[in-house]
Chain A
Amino acid sequence: MQSNPDHDNYRSAQKRKLALRRLSPLMTILFLLLLWQWLSDRELVSPILVPPPADVYAAFAAALDDGSLVKHTLVTLGEMLYGLLLGVAIGLVLGYAIAKAPLLEYILSPIIVAFQSTPIVAYAPLLIIWFGTGPTSKIVTTAVIVFFPSLVNAIVGIRSVSPRLRDLMTSLNAGPWRAFRLLELPSALPVILAGLKTSTTLAVIGAVVGEFVSAGSGLGYLVTTARYQFDTPLVIVSVLTMTAIALSLYSLVAYVEWRSLAWQRRSAA
C-alpha cells in the first residue's frame, strides 16, 4: 500500500487528538490540586475546613506507614467484593428467570421496586440489627445496592436477544444450556457488563454506608473516627482512597468489557 502524505497528516492529527483526550482528565486533576494548594497558601479557606495538600499527604504517608490505611482498605474492599459477588449473582440469576417467565416479574416487582426506591441509608441500620455488626451486614448492604442494576440489565439483556437468532438456535435443535451459552449470554453481555460497571461504583456506597452505621474497621469507620479526632487530613485520605477503589474496580470491569467486546469495536470501525 502506498503512503499518502495527506492521510499521514490526518492520522497524526487524529493521534494528537486522542492523546489530548486521554490527558485531559489528568489535567483536570492537576488543575484542582493546584487550585487547592493556592487556596491553602493564600489562606482563603480555613485549614480547619480544607487542610493544605501537604497535610493530607503527611496523613496519607503516616496511615500508609503504620499499616492502618492498608488494613481498613482491605476490609472495605473485601466487603465490597463479597457483596458484589452475592448481589450480582442473585441479580443475574433472578433477572434471567424474570426475563424467561414474565409472571415472575408481576409477582416480584413490588418487593424489588420497594427495595430500589428506598434509600439504602434509611434501612442500613435495620440490616445492621438483622445481620450483626460484623462484615456480614456490610456485605448484605452492598449486595442489596448492587443487586438492582444487575437484575435490570439481565432482564433487558436477555429480553433483547433477537427472536430470529432464537429461531436459528431452535432450528439447530439447541437445548436450553447451549442456547444460553452460545446465544443468550454473549448477546446480553454488553448490557450486563454496563450494569456491572454501575454496580462496582455502587458497591463502595453500600460498604461505606454500612460502616458508617456501625463498624470496627473499614474506610467508613476510619472517616468517622478521624472526624471525631478532628483529623480532617485523614478524613480526606480515607475519602480519596474510596474514590481510588471505585475507580480501580470500574476500570477493571471496563477493561474486561473492552477485551470481551472486541467484536463491537471492530464492527463499529
Chain B
Amino acid sequence: MKLRVEDLVVSFRNPDGELLPVLGPLSFSVSDNEFACVLGPSGCGKSTLIQVLAGLLPPTSGAAYSDGQVITRPLSGAAIMFQDTNLLPWRTVLDNIALPLEVAGISRADRYRRVRKLLPQLNLEDFERAYPAELSGGMAQRVALGRVIVQKPRAWLLDEPFGALDALTRESLRLELLQLRAGARQTLILVTHDINEAVLLADRVIVLSRRPGAVVADIEIALPRPRAADMIYQREFLLLTKEIRSYIDEQRA
C-alpha cells in the first residue's frame, strides 16, 4: 500500500478556543513495501500523524492518501499498533489476538486456528490462556504485535511500539519485528524518537521538526538486509546516526 500526505495540517482547539497547530504543514510519501521511520522529538505530532493515517482523526487541512484515495475512515488494509499495548484486560492472549477476526465475523474455530498458528512465532504458545495483566511488558507488546499481524495488513502503522520497554527487551523486539515482516509485502510506518531504532529498522528515516512537526530531512538508509543487532557499531550506521542527530540538534538550537 502506498501512503502519502500532502500539505497536512492538524490543529487542536485549546480551552480558550484558540487553534493550536500540532502538526504540519507536512508532505511526504511512502512507497509500496517500504519501511519508513518517522523520527522526531516528543510532542512534535508523531502520534497525531499515525492517527490521521489510520483514519481516526480528520486533518484540519491538507489530506492523507492511500493508493491515491483520500483517507476519511479507518482503512481495511491498515493495522495500527498503539503506543502502549492497548489490550482488552478481560480477554486472554488468545482472544486479544483474535479480536480483529471476531470483529470481522470469523467463526471461533477459524479464529483460534489462525491465532494458534501465529503464537510460536510470537513466543507466546504457553501463554494463550493468560490475561494481559499477567504478562511482562515485552510479552504484552508481542500480543499487540500479534493483533496487528493476524489482520494480514498491507500497511502497518506503529506508534512508538517499544517506547515503554526496557532497553534489552526493546532490542530483541526490534529484531523480532523485522523477522516477522520478512518476506511479506507490506508498507510500514513506525513513529519513534529513538535514532538507533529508526536507522536499524527503516529503509528511510523522515525527521520531523519540533511542534508543529514538519519534515526537516528525508534520509535513505542503504544498510543491507537482513539487519542485525551488532550493526549499530558499524561505521555506516554511525555516520547515518550522526547525520540525523545533526538535523535534530539544529532544531534544538
Direct contact of A and B (CB under 8 A): yes
B222 at the interface (CB under 8 A from A): no
Least distance between B109 CB and chain A CB atoms (Å): 18
Say which size band chain A's interface belongs to. 20 to 34
A2 at the interface (CB under 8 A from B): no
In the complex, what distance in Å separates the CA atom of A268 from the CA atom of B89?
Answer: 11
Chain A residue nearest in CB terms to B95: A182
The answer to whether B82 and A168 touch across the interface, beta carbons within 8 angstroms, is yes
Option from B56, B79, B132 in Cβ contact (under 8 Å) with A170: B56
Least distance between B38 CB and chain A CB atoms (Å): 18
Given known A170-B56, A171-B74, A267-B133, contact A164–B90 (CB-CB < 8 A): no
Option from B79, B82, B89, B103 in Cβ contact (under 8 Å) with A182: B103
The answer to whether A170 and B103 touch across the interface, beta carbons within 8 angstroms, is no
A183 at the interface (CB under 8 A from B): yes
Say which size band chain B's interface belongs to. 20 to 34
Give the chain A neighbours of B76 by CB distance below 8 A.
173
Per DSSP, are chain B's interface residues mostly helix, strand or loop, or mixed? loop
Least distance between A172 CB and chain B CB atoms (Å): 5
A53 at the interface (CB under 8 A from B): no
Give the residue among A171, A183, A267 with the most B Cβ atoms within 10 A: A171
A263 at the interface (CB under 8 A from B): yes
In the complex, what distance in Å separates the CA atom of A264 from the CA atom of B102?
Answer: 22
Interface residues of A, Cβ cutoff 8 Å to B:
164-165, 167-174, 178, 182-183, 186-187, 189, 261, 263-264, 266-268
In the complex, what distance in Å separates the CA atom of A267 from the CA atom of B88?
Answer: 12
Give the chain A neighbours of B137 by CB distance below 8 A.
none
In the complex, what distance in Å separates the CA atom of A5 from the CA atom of B9?
Answer: 65
| Pairs across A and B, CB under 8 Å, 27 listed | A164-B86, A165-B88, A167-B51, A168-B86, A170-B56, A171-B54, A171-B56, A171-B79, A172-B74, A172-B99, A172-B103, A173-B73, A174-B103, A178-B103, A183-B88, A186-B91, A187-B88, A261-B90, A263-B89, A263-B90, A263-B91, A264-B90, A266-B131, A266-B133, A267-B89, A267-B134, A268-B133
Interface residues of B, Cβ cutoff 8 Å to A:
51, 54-56, 73-74, 76, 79-80, 82, 84, 86, 88-91, 99-100, 102-104, 131-134
Least distance between B59 CB and chain A CB atoms (Å): 16
In the complex, what distance in Å separates the CA atom of A10 from the CA atom of B131?
Answer: 27
Least distance between B145 CB and chain A CB atoms (Å): 14
Give the chain A neighbours of B88 by CB distance below 8 A.
165, 182-183, 186-187
In the complex, what distance in Å separates the CA atom of A173 from the CA atom of B153?
Answer: 14
The answer to whether A171 and B55 touch across the interface, beta carbons within 8 angstroms, is yes
Least distance between A94 CB and chain B CB atoms (Å): 25
Least distance between A160 CB and chain B CB atoms (Å): 13
The answer to whether A187 and B99 touch across the interface, beta carbons within 8 angstroms, is no
Give the chain B neighbours of A264 by CB distance below 8 A.
90
Chain A residue nearest in CB terms to B79: A171
Least distance between A178 CB and chain B CB atoms (Å): 5
Least distance between A93 CB and chain B CB atoms (Å): 22
Least distance between A194 CB and chain B CB atoms (Å): 15
In the complex, what distance in Å separates the CA atom of A236 from the CA atom of B124?
Answer: 59
In the complex, what distance in Å separates the CA atom of A264 from the CA atom of B99?
Answer: 19
In the complex, what distance in Å separates the CA atom of A168 from the CA atom of B103?
Answer: 11
In the complex, what distance in Å separates the CA atom of A102 from the CA atom of B151?
Answer: 35
Chain A residue nearest in CB terms to B51: A167
Give the chain B neighbours of A172 by CB distance below 8 A.
74, 99-100, 103-104
Give the chain A neighbours of B102 by CB distance below 8 A.
178, 182
The answer to whether A167 and B56 touch across the interface, beta carbons within 8 angstroms, is yes
Chain B residue nearest in CB terms to A265: B131
Give the chain B neighbours of A171 by CB distance below 8 A.
54-56, 74, 79-80
In the complex, what distance in Å separates the CA atom of A192 from the CA atom of B201?
Answer: 45
